[in-house]
Amino acid sequence: MVNEKVLIRTKFRRLKKVSRFMVVLTLILSIILVTFFIGFLINKPPVINQNKIVIENPLKEIVYANQNEQGLVDKQQVINQALQEFDKDYINYILLALGVNKLKKSLIGYGNPKVEFKINEELWSSEIVDQSLNTQKSTIDDPDVRFHMPKTEIIESLLSSDINQFVINSVSNGNTQMELIASKPELLSKGYLGMYKDLTGSDPEI
């Protein structure tokens, strides 16, 4: 009997030691995992926003100024005022709707994307440099593409609930034309071919 009690006591002590060891080991492993996880979060690379160019709709203040107490907007008055105040912000906003965020500097030596607009009788142009739009009311040397759009079409697009779909429809119905000027290798290297397909639904014939 004595021997049995001793054996039981010995087994209990061994089991207790093993249990303590497992608890300590579990705690150590938990601490290591938590430390690793915290380190991973701290050193995790930031998420890169692919759409880096972000601007506000230039008609926002005009729409607000022409809204009555019931929230109704005098659309014609907005268009008239927008025609008078038309500037490069309108061009920049329509450029984003057309997909210039997808354009990039050529890696084979053709330089930055250059877009020209013929709006009624006015010429506007923009060069995309380091995710910035350098837009001016003038022509540009060696444009890659040229968009033909009435000024009222641009304003209507800014007033639409879905500007991206609006410009696609505008291209489809002929109110907006996209003229490809540069060679196919240059257009391809800058991302225009994808932009063209997004707007027209087909590949360009170059």
Looking up residue 116, the CATH number of its domain turns out to be 3.30.1050.10
pLDDT, position 40: 32
Domain presence at residue 30 = yes
pLDDT, position 126: 97
pLDDT, position 205: 75
Domain presence at residue 22 = yes
Strand order in the sheet with 114-119: 132-136, 122-129, 114-119, 145-149, 177-180
**pTM above threshold 0.85:** no
Domain presence at residue 158 = yes
First to last CA, the chain: 100
Instruction: Render each residue's pLDDT in the chain as its tens digit; 206 residues.
Output: 445 444 445 544 555 555 666 666 666 655 544 443 333 333 333 332 344 567 789 999 999 999 988 889 899 999 999 999 999 999 999 999 999 988 999 999 999 999 999 999 899 999 999 879 999 999 999 999 999 999 999 999 999 999 999 999 999 999 999 999 999 999 999 999 999 999 998 888 76
Domain presence at residue 206 = no
Residues 140 and 196 in one domain: yes
Which is nearest to 199 in space by CA: 128, 92, 98, 116? 98
Residues 81 and 105 in one domain: yes
Burial classification of residue 98, based on how many CB atoms lie within 10 Å of its CB (0-12 exposed, 13-18 middle, 19 or more buried): buried
Where in the sequence is the domain holding 69, given as residue range(s)? Answer: 60-200
CB 146 within 8 A of CB 117: yes
Domain presence at residue 151 = yes
pLDDT, position 74: 93
pLDDT, position 204: 83
pLDDT, position 174: 95
Residues 12 and 92 in one domain: no
3-state secondary structure of 23: helix
